């Protein structure tokens, strides 16, 4: 084979080899600039986050210090500490569900006593009411106004006795649901009394004076005034 053909064939093979090799290009300077800017932005964000965390920590510290100052402010014994202690004690007893050492005694004594007192008040109310007894709040045509006996202490002794009885049974049984239902019964009887007294004012001219003389619907007024938290002035 002539030498010129060999050289031509060799050159063709070398060109084919060169064409098959991947072409290497230098990285662009713009790419390095973008990466540098991204790293700077991330560093700035981390710095701002650290500042925010540090600021939050200082705010919490300031709040704790302020609360501590509030606890130490004022003169001891004249800041109403007794109210706070009683408040905390009641909340703890409610969460515990009983009064330590005294809860069972109070339940056993108060529950039956209220129930017995309720029955007694109901009996006295029925006795004094006599033939005026009616389940309806509206007075009958031939009814008379009763102001003596237990009605001289309570305007609605039968309703009051019913509430005492239900509350006593609720406490005695330790049933929160019964206590809640007794509260609903009290609300209903309050509304019923208002309706009934409106009818009585229309029927009896002296009923308004009776309301002024006997201030208690369900609890005797003198008993309410005897409570230590009631201002007698």
Q: Which domain holds residue 164?
A: 103-225
Q: Answer whether residue 156 is part of any domain.
A: yes
What pLDDT digit, counting tens, does each position of 200-226 carry? 999 999 999 999 999 999 999 888 777
64 contacts: CB under 8 Å, gap ≥ 6: none
Mean pLDDT, residues 62-85 taken together: 81
* pLDDT of the residue at 48: 63
% of residues, the chain, pLDDT over 70: 74
Q: Answer whether residue 158 is part of any domain.
A: yes
- Between 136 and 57, the higher pLDDT residue: 136
* 224 DSSP assignment: H
**Distance (Å, rounded) from C-alpha 99 to C-alpha 101?**
6
* pLDDT of the residue at 24: 47
What pLDDT digit, counting tens, does each position of 99-148 carry? 777 778 878 888 999 999 999 999 999 999 988 888 888 888 888 999 99
Specify the residue for token string 């005694």: 105
Query: Confidence class of residue 182 from pLDDT cuts 50, 70 and 90?
Result: very high
Q: Is the pLDDT of residue 86 over 50?
A: yes
Q: Answer whether residue 196 is part of any domain.
A: yes
Q: Answer whether residue 10 is part of any domain.
A: no
**Distance (Å, rounded) from C-alpha 98 to C-alpha 107?**
9
Per the structure, how many domains does the chain have? 1
- Provide the b/e sequence for 197-207 (b: ≥16 CB within 10 Å): beebeeebeeb
Query: Confidence class of residue 61 from pLDDT cuts 50, 70 and 90?
Result: confident
Return the ∠ at Cα 206 (arms to 205 and 207), rounded to 5°: 95
Tell me the pTM.
0.61
- Residue 35, classed as helix, strand or coil, is helix
**Distance (Å, rounded) from C-alpha 10 to C-alpha 24?**
24
- Between 178 and 4, the higher pLDDT residue: 178
Q: Answer whether residue 165 is part of any domain.
A: yes
Q: Answer whether residue 51 is part of any domain.
A: no
What pLDDT digit, counting tens, does each position of 147-170 carry? 999 999 999 999 999 999 999 999
Q: Answer whether residue 138 is part of any domain.
A: yes
CATH number at residue 118: 1.20.120.1630
Q: Answer whether residue 3 is part of any domain.
A: no
* 22 DSSP assignment: P
């Amino acid at each position: 084979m002539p030498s010129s053909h060999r050289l031509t064939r060799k050159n063709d093979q070398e060109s084919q080899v060169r064409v098959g090799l991947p072409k290497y290009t230098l990285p662009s300077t713009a790419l390095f600039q973008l990466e540098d800017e991204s790293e700077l932005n991330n560093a700035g964000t981390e710095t701002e986050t650290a500042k925010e965390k540090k600021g939050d920590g200082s705010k919490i510290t300031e709040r704790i210090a302020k609360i501590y100052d509030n606890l130490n402010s004022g003169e001891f014994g004249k800041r109403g500490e007794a109210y706070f202690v009683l408040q905390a004690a009641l909340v703890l007893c409610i969460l515990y569900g009983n009064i330590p050492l005294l809860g069972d005694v109070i339940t056993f004594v108060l529950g039956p006593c209220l129930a017995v007192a309720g029955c007694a008040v109901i009996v006295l109310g029925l006795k004094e009411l006599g033939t005026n007894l009616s389940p309806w709040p509206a007075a009958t045509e031939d009814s008379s106004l009763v102001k003596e006996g237990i009605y001289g202490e309570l305007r609605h002794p039968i309703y009051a006795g019913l509430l005492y009885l239900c509350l006593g049974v609720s406490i005695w049984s330790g049933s929160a649901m019964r206590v809640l239902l007794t509260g609903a019964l009290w609300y209903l009887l309050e509304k019923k009394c208002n309706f009934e007294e409106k009818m009585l004012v229309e029927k009896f001219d002296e009923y308004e004076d009776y309301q002024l003389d006997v201030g208690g619907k369900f609890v005797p007024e003198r008993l309410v005034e005897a409570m230590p938290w009631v201002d007698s002035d």
